Amino acid sequence: MDPANGMAAATAKAAANAIDAATAATAEAEFARLTAGLGSSAKQDVVQRAIDETLKLRAGKQPAYHSECVPLLYLLQYQAKQINLVYSVIKRMTLYRRALGRNACGLTTSGGGRLRIIDVGCGALATQFAAALAAADAIEAGERVAAISVASRDNNPSMPALGWKMWKEFKLAVKDDSALASLQEAVERIHADCFERASAPFPEARQDEDCWISAIHALYDDNKSDVRDSLARAFAANPDPDAAFMTTHNSKKSLMRGLGPFDKRLWAEFPQKYEHSVRIPDDYPLRRTSEWWRDLQKELGLLEKRGDGAALQGAGYWRWADAACRLYLRPGKNV
């Protein structure tokens, strides 16, 4: 299989099922932890507050990520979509590498290669999951994958902490599925650094490491200057990365412009709309996640209260809202 193409259909479904299982198991354990000792009405309030808070994202604002069940609700609503988005961006890099004649990145290696990913505003580690999917494609295509280390930064530690719990569940789910041998190998190639607050110094990629800098849906009107500052520090530590990419909602794409130390002509800007060939199908269900969420809403009487659970309509699928992406690939190396 061509590594620029998406996964074989059977592998994509098995990978999607593993992410679904990991999301549901993480959500269940996290909800039990956060609401231990609470009665039904208090649980309902906590969930309702988190629903209202995450709805702010639809208005282009940041929710209070540090608060109660907000990271959990983020995971339920957005994690699969964001993984799919970053996966498609990474796959795009492979296509662009060919079109632009640039060295894409270093996901694959002829032997002994290392890749360092610096993820600014990492949230629940969507980029790390997506790198695993893209690495699995490369392995299926007969390529060797670099040893990947991911330095994730977020100014709300509860988001990567939850992502890390999900990563552990994901590893277990992948291990159990014989259809996912390539993903098992990919996951083993990924080393996640300890998470640091956004203000911590950014690591410098070593001489023998390729480097990506990413910022996926981290930029909002109300945190623009903070994220700019974080990205400026990431680029200052790594002024010559092999690749950089960032995404945001399409209507906010102007926020991404002017970021990064390179001439603007070196950035490709494209909408990430419906690239079916390089992503998990939009309508493939997150069956276990959706079931868990529906059962919880039933148990707490939220379905009756909200009618159809409208706050999470569109959750439980891999489809993302209209996103824009900027991609930089270091010029100069022919492939």
Ligand X SMILES: C[S@@+](CC[C@H](N)C(=O)[O-])C[C@H]1O[C@@H](n2cnc3c(N)ncnc32)[C@H](O)[C@@H]1O
Residues in contact with ligand X by CB under 6 A are 65, 78, 82, 120-124, 126, 153-156, 159, 198, 216-218, 223, 226-227, 230
Q: Which is nearer to ligand X, 21 or 166 (CB)?
A: 166
Q: How far is the CB of 65 from ligand X (least distance, A)?
A: 4
Antiparallel, parallel or unpaired: β 323-329 and 267-272? antiparallel
Q: From CA 236, how far away is CA 238, in angstroms rounded?
A: 5
Q: Which is nearer to ligand X, 135 or 159 (CB)?
A: 159
The closest of 275, 276, 278, 272 to 5, measured between CA atoms, is 278
Q: How far is the CB of 239 from ligand X (least distance, A)?
A: 20
Q: Which is nearer to ligand X, 139 or 312 (CB)?
A: 312
Q: Which is nearer to ligand X, 300 or 324 (CB)?
A: 324
Q: Which residue is nearest to ligand X (CB)?
A: 123
Q: How far is the CB of 165 from ligand X (least distance, A)?
A: 15
Q: How far is the CB of 122 from ligand X (least distance, A)?
A: 5
Cβ contact 208:289 at 8 Å: no
Q: From CA 79, how far away is CA 92, in angstroms rounded?
A: 20
Q: Which two tokens stand for residue 288?
A: 């276990």
Cβ contact 218:120 at 8 Å: yes
Q: From CA 116, how far away is CA 153, in angstroms rounded?
A: 13
Q: Which is nearer to ligand X, 115 or 120 (CB)?
A: 120
For the chain, give the number of residues: 335
Q: How far is the CB of 296 from ligand X (least distance, A)?
A: 22
